[in-house]
Amino acid sequence: VAAASPASAPLPKIWHIDAKHKDFRVAVKGDVFHAEWVTLPAQAVKQGAFIRTTCRRSGTKWVGTSNVHQEFADPKAPAGKDIKKMCLLTVRFEVDSITPEKITYHSEVMRDFDYAKCQVLKTAWEQFAWVPKK
């Protein structure tokens, strides 16, 4: 499926994904797609959290990575203890299509994670969509 040319119509600046309750600022300049998480909780901002995505045009889609710096919970923490630490991860990210009404993409998601080392052990690809923020 050929991706729409974002130059054909102006794109909204802020996009939303319901499943994650996050908003992203999106910009497409030439053959480069950028997205950055803009609705970070105050505590996450203090800790330097971010999600930044950069992709380059490759044929009919954009291919790149998302750099994720955020808190992850210790899955082995005792009940009632909320133990977390900041981790920096990079996952593959591909934008399939862009229109003024929807951005479709797929990204690696974690299936297995070594909390102690902040290391992704296993991933899988999942499909997502952003819609303009209302």
Give tens-digit pLDDT for 61-73: 999 999 999 999 8
What pLDDT digit, counting tens, does each position of 33-57 carry? 999 999 999 999 999 999 999 999 9
Residue in 36, 32, 81, 38 with CA at minimum distance from that of residue 57? 32
Half-sphere exposure (Cβ direction) of 104: Cα atoms closer than 13 Å:
9
- Percent of the chain's residues with pLDDT above 70: 93
Distances (CA, A) of 35 to 55, 85, 116, 117: 9, 24, 29, 27
User: Please, are residues 71 and 51 in contact by the beta-carbon 8 Å criterion?
Assistant: no
pLDDT of 125 over the 60 cut: yes
Query: Residue holding tokens 């991706």?
Result: 3
